[in-house]
Amino acid sequence: MGIIEGKRILVTGVITESSIAYHVARLCQEQGATVVLTGYGRLSLVERIAKRLPEQAPVLELDVTDTGHLDSLADRISEHVGGLDGVVHSIGYTPPDALGGNFLNTEWDDVATAMHTSAYSLKSLTTSVLPLMKDGGSVVAMDFDATVAYPVYDWMGVAKASLEATSRYLARYLGEQRVRVNLVSSGPLATMAARSIPGFDNLAARWPERAPLGWDLSDPEPAARGVVALLSDWFPATTGELVHVDGGFHAIGA
Protein backbone atom coordinates (compact mmCIF):
# COMPACT_ATOMS: atom_id res chain seq x y z
CA MET A 1 0.00 0.00 0.00
CA GLY A 2 1.42 3.37 -1.07
CA ILE A 3 1.79 6.40 1.19
CA ILE A 4 -0.82 8.34 -0.80
CA GLU A 5 -3.11 5.41 -1.59
CA GLY A 6 -6.51 6.59 -2.79
CA LYS A 7 -5.60 10.27 -2.94
CA ARG A 8 -6.46 12.48 -5.89
CA ILE A 9 -3.63 14.75 -6.99
CA LEU A 10 -3.49 17.60 -9.50
CA VAL A 11 0.00 17.97 -11.00
CA THR A 12 0.93 21.02 -13.06
CA GLY A 13 4.08 21.65 -15.05
CA VAL A 14 4.72 18.40 -16.91
CA ILE A 15 6.51 19.22 -20.17
CA THR A 16 9.02 16.42 -20.78
CA GLU A 17 10.18 13.27 -18.99
CA SER A 18 12.96 15.33 -17.42
CA SER A 19 10.43 17.59 -15.69
CA ILE A 20 10.29 17.28 -11.91
CA ALA A 21 6.50 17.30 -12.31
CA TYR A 22 6.62 14.19 -14.51
CA HIS A 23 8.49 12.27 -11.83
CA VAL A 24 6.09 13.57 -9.18
CA ALA A 25 3.15 12.30 -11.24
CA ARG A 26 4.86 8.93 -11.77
CA LEU A 27 5.65 8.49 -8.08
CA CYS A 28 2.13 9.59 -7.11
CA GLN A 29 0.69 6.81 -9.25
CA GLU A 30 3.20 4.29 -7.96
CA GLN A 31 2.20 5.26 -4.42
CA GLY A 32 -1.49 4.68 -5.11
CA ALA A 33 -2.85 8.08 -6.14
CA THR A 34 -5.06 9.10 -9.04
CA VAL A 35 -3.41 11.89 -11.03
CA VAL A 36 -4.79 14.69 -13.21
CA LEU A 37 -2.30 16.79 -15.19
CA THR A 38 -2.45 20.30 -16.58
CA GLY A 39 -0.54 21.68 -19.52
CA TYR A 40 -0.13 24.99 -21.30
CA GLY A 41 0.62 25.78 -24.91
CA ARG A 42 1.79 22.39 -26.16
CA LEU A 43 -0.97 20.10 -24.94
CA SER A 44 -0.19 17.44 -27.52
CA LEU A 45 3.33 17.15 -26.05
CA VAL A 46 1.97 16.84 -22.50
CA GLU A 47 -0.58 14.25 -23.66
CA ARG A 48 2.20 12.24 -25.30
CA ILE A 49 4.27 12.37 -22.11
CA ALA A 50 1.20 11.41 -20.05
CA LYS A 51 1.04 8.11 -21.96
CA ARG A 52 4.46 7.19 -20.54
CA LEU A 53 3.22 7.25 -16.96
CA PRO A 54 2.31 3.94 -15.31
CA GLU A 55 -1.31 4.89 -16.03
CA GLN A 56 -2.24 7.47 -18.64
CA ALA A 57 -3.54 10.57 -16.87
CA PRO A 58 -6.05 13.11 -18.23
CA VAL A 59 -4.55 16.43 -19.32
CA LEU A 60 -6.39 19.73 -18.84
CA GLU A 61 -5.41 23.02 -20.44
CA LEU A 62 -4.36 25.63 -17.90
CA ASP A 63 -2.81 29.04 -18.36
CA VAL A 64 -2.47 30.28 -14.77
CA THR A 65 -2.64 33.89 -15.96
CA ASP A 66 -6.01 33.31 -17.68
CA THR A 67 -8.97 33.91 -15.37
CA GLY A 68 -11.26 31.93 -17.67
CA HIS A 69 -9.05 28.85 -17.34
CA LEU A 70 -8.90 29.26 -13.57
CA ASP A 71 -12.63 29.87 -13.17
CA SER A 72 -13.48 26.67 -15.02
CA LEU A 73 -10.70 24.51 -13.57
CA ALA A 74 -12.63 22.95 -10.68
CA ASP A 75 -15.49 21.93 -12.96
CA ARG A 76 -13.10 20.44 -15.50
CA ILE A 77 -11.25 18.47 -12.81
CA SER A 78 -14.60 17.19 -11.51
CA GLU A 79 -15.16 15.45 -14.83
CA HIS A 80 -12.33 13.07 -13.87
CA VAL A 81 -12.23 12.94 -10.05
CA GLY A 82 -14.77 13.78 -7.37
CA GLY A 83 -12.43 15.99 -5.38
CA LEU A 84 -8.79 16.74 -4.66
CA ASP A 85 -6.47 15.78 -1.83
CA GLY A 86 -3.34 17.40 -3.21
CA VAL A 87 -2.07 20.02 -5.65
CA VAL A 88 1.43 20.31 -7.08
CA HIS A 89 2.46 23.75 -8.35
CA SER A 90 5.42 23.33 -10.69
CA ILE A 91 5.00 26.48 -12.75
CA GLY A 92 7.39 29.31 -13.45
CA TYR A 93 8.30 31.65 -16.26
CA THR A 94 10.50 34.71 -16.55
CA PRO A 95 11.04 36.55 -19.85
CA PRO A 96 14.60 36.27 -21.17
CA ASP A 97 15.24 39.97 -20.57
CA ALA A 98 14.72 39.39 -16.84
CA LEU A 99 17.51 36.77 -16.65
CA GLY A 100 21.18 36.37 -17.46
CA GLY A 101 22.67 39.37 -15.66
CA ASN A 102 20.24 41.98 -16.98
CA PHE A 103 18.76 42.66 -13.52
CA LEU A 104 19.37 46.43 -13.48
CA ASN A 105 17.89 46.96 -16.95
CA THR A 106 14.76 44.79 -16.76
CA GLU A 107 11.52 46.64 -17.46
CA TRP A 108 8.49 46.34 -15.18
CA ASP A 109 6.37 44.52 -17.76
CA ASP A 110 8.83 41.62 -17.76
CA VAL A 111 9.06 41.66 -13.96
CA ALA A 112 5.26 41.65 -13.73
CA THR A 113 5.08 38.61 -16.01
CA ALA A 114 7.60 36.77 -13.84
CA MET A 115 5.73 37.60 -10.63
CA HIS A 116 2.30 36.73 -12.02
CA THR A 117 3.31 33.42 -13.55
CA SER A 118 5.82 32.23 -10.96
CA ALA A 119 4.42 33.52 -7.64
CA TYR A 120 0.88 34.88 -7.73
CA SER A 121 -0.16 31.76 -9.62
CA LEU A 122 0.31 29.71 -6.45
CA LYS A 123 -2.49 31.69 -4.83
CA SER A 124 -4.74 31.74 -7.91
CA LEU A 125 -4.30 28.01 -8.61
CA THR A 126 -4.92 27.07 -4.99
CA THR A 127 -8.04 29.17 -4.58
CA SER A 128 -9.45 27.97 -7.90
CA VAL A 129 -9.43 24.33 -6.75
CA LEU A 130 -10.19 24.95 -3.09
CA PRO A 131 -13.87 23.93 -3.49
CA LEU A 132 -12.61 20.42 -4.37
CA MET A 133 -10.58 20.14 -1.15
CA LYS A 134 -13.50 19.82 1.25
CA ASP A 135 -11.62 17.44 3.55
CA GLY A 136 -8.43 19.48 3.59
CA GLY A 137 -5.31 18.42 1.76
CA SER A 138 -1.80 19.40 0.76
CA VAL A 139 -0.47 22.00 -1.67
CA VAL A 140 3.20 21.65 -2.61
CA ALA A 141 5.08 24.11 -4.82
CA MET A 142 8.52 23.79 -6.40
CA ASP A 143 11.02 26.41 -5.25
CA PHE A 144 14.66 27.37 -5.71
CA ASP A 145 15.99 28.78 -2.44
CA ALA A 146 15.59 32.57 -2.60
CA THR A 147 17.48 33.47 0.58
CA VAL A 148 20.57 34.39 -1.45
CA ALA A 149 21.23 36.08 -4.82
CA TYR A 150 22.44 33.71 -7.51
CA PRO A 151 24.28 34.72 -10.69
CA VAL A 152 22.07 34.97 -13.82
CA TYR A 153 18.87 33.99 -11.93
CA ASP A 154 17.96 37.66 -11.45
CA TRP A 155 14.20 38.41 -11.41
CA MET A 156 13.29 34.74 -11.23
CA GLY A 157 15.05 34.77 -7.88
CA VAL A 158 12.87 37.69 -6.81
CA ALA A 159 9.80 35.82 -8.04
CA LYS A 160 10.84 32.76 -6.02
CA ALA A 161 11.18 34.97 -2.93
CA SER A 162 7.62 36.11 -3.56
CA LEU A 163 6.55 32.49 -4.02
CA GLU A 164 7.99 31.67 -0.61
CA ALA A 165 6.10 34.55 1.03
CA THR A 166 2.91 33.60 -0.82
CA SER A 167 3.13 30.04 0.50
CA ARG A 168 3.40 31.29 4.08
CA TYR A 169 0.34 33.52 3.74
CA LEU A 170 -1.64 30.72 2.11
CA ALA A 171 -0.62 28.48 5.00
CA ARG A 172 -1.89 31.12 7.41
CA TYR A 173 -5.26 31.61 5.76
CA LEU A 174 -5.99 28.00 4.77
CA GLY A 175 -5.08 26.32 8.03
CA GLU A 176 -8.66 26.47 9.30
CA GLN A 177 -9.68 24.43 6.25
CA ARG A 178 -7.00 21.84 7.05
CA VAL A 179 -5.12 22.65 3.86
CA ARG A 180 -1.33 22.51 4.25
CA VAL A 181 0.93 24.60 1.99
CA ASN A 182 4.63 23.79 1.70
CA LEU A 183 7.55 24.19 -0.66
CA VAL A 184 10.28 21.87 -1.91
CA SER A 185 13.47 23.70 -2.80
CA SER A 186 15.32 21.48 -5.22
CA GLY A 187 18.89 21.80 -6.29
CA PRO A 188 19.45 22.68 -9.97
CA LEU A 189 18.33 20.08 -12.49
CA ALA A 190 18.93 19.82 -16.22
CA THR A 191 15.31 20.36 -17.18
CA MET A 192 13.92 22.23 -20.19
CA ALA A 193 13.10 25.18 -17.91
CA ALA A 194 16.66 25.29 -16.56
CA ARG A 195 18.18 25.20 -20.03
CA SER A 196 16.25 28.36 -20.88
CA ILE A 197 18.22 30.31 -18.23
CA PRO A 198 21.30 31.98 -19.76
CA GLY A 199 24.37 30.86 -17.84
CA PHE A 200 22.60 28.00 -16.05
CA ASP A 201 25.64 25.75 -16.41
CA ASN A 202 27.76 28.26 -14.49
CA LEU A 203 25.14 28.52 -11.75
CA ALA A 204 24.92 24.76 -11.33
CA ALA A 205 28.56 23.79 -11.90
CA ARG A 206 29.76 23.83 -8.29
CA TRP A 207 26.64 22.27 -6.79
CA PRO A 208 27.79 18.62 -6.93
CA GLU A 209 31.14 19.39 -5.27
CA ARG A 210 29.78 21.69 -2.52
CA ALA A 211 26.68 19.73 -1.53
CA PRO A 212 27.64 17.43 1.39
CA LEU A 213 25.54 14.59 -0.03
CA GLY A 214 26.56 15.35 -3.59
CA TRP A 215 24.09 16.29 -6.29
CA ASP A 216 23.13 14.72 -9.60
CA LEU A 217 21.83 17.38 -11.99
CA SER A 218 20.24 14.70 -14.14
CA ASP A 219 18.17 13.02 -11.40
CA PRO A 220 14.81 14.63 -10.49
CA GLU A 221 13.71 11.72 -8.29
CA PRO A 222 14.97 13.04 -4.90
CA ALA A 223 13.01 16.27 -5.35
CA ALA A 224 9.96 14.35 -6.57
CA ARG A 225 10.10 12.10 -3.50
CA GLY A 226 10.15 15.16 -1.27
CA VAL A 227 6.98 16.42 -2.96
CA VAL A 228 5.18 13.09 -2.61
CA ALA A 229 6.15 12.87 1.06
CA LEU A 230 4.56 16.28 1.69
CA LEU A 231 1.43 15.22 -0.20
CA SER A 232 1.08 12.27 2.17
CA ASP A 233 -0.42 12.17 5.66
CA TRP A 234 3.04 11.76 7.20
CA PHE A 235 3.29 15.55 7.67
CA PRO A 236 -0.12 16.29 9.24
CA ALA A 237 1.08 19.29 11.27
CA THR A 238 3.54 20.82 8.80
CA THR A 239 2.57 23.92 6.85
CA GLY A 240 4.32 27.08 5.73
CA GLU A 241 7.54 25.07 5.50
CA LEU A 242 10.36 25.05 2.94
CA VAL A 243 12.01 21.63 2.61
CA HIS A 244 15.42 21.66 0.95
CA VAL A 245 16.14 18.73 -1.34
CA ASP A 246 19.49 19.96 -2.62
CA GLY A 247 22.11 17.62 -1.21
CA GLY A 248 22.64 20.06 1.68
CA PHE A 249 24.09 22.83 -0.50
CA HIS A 250 21.97 25.50 1.22
CA ALA A 251 23.64 24.85 4.58
CA ILE A 252 27.26 25.16 3.46
CA GLY A 253 29.31 28.36 3.33
CA ALA A 254 32.34 29.11 1.20
| Residues annotated catalytic, as ranges | 153, 160
Question: For residues 150 and 187, is the Cβ–Cβ distance under 8 A?
Answer: no
Gyration radius of the chain over CA positions = 17
Residue type, 181: V
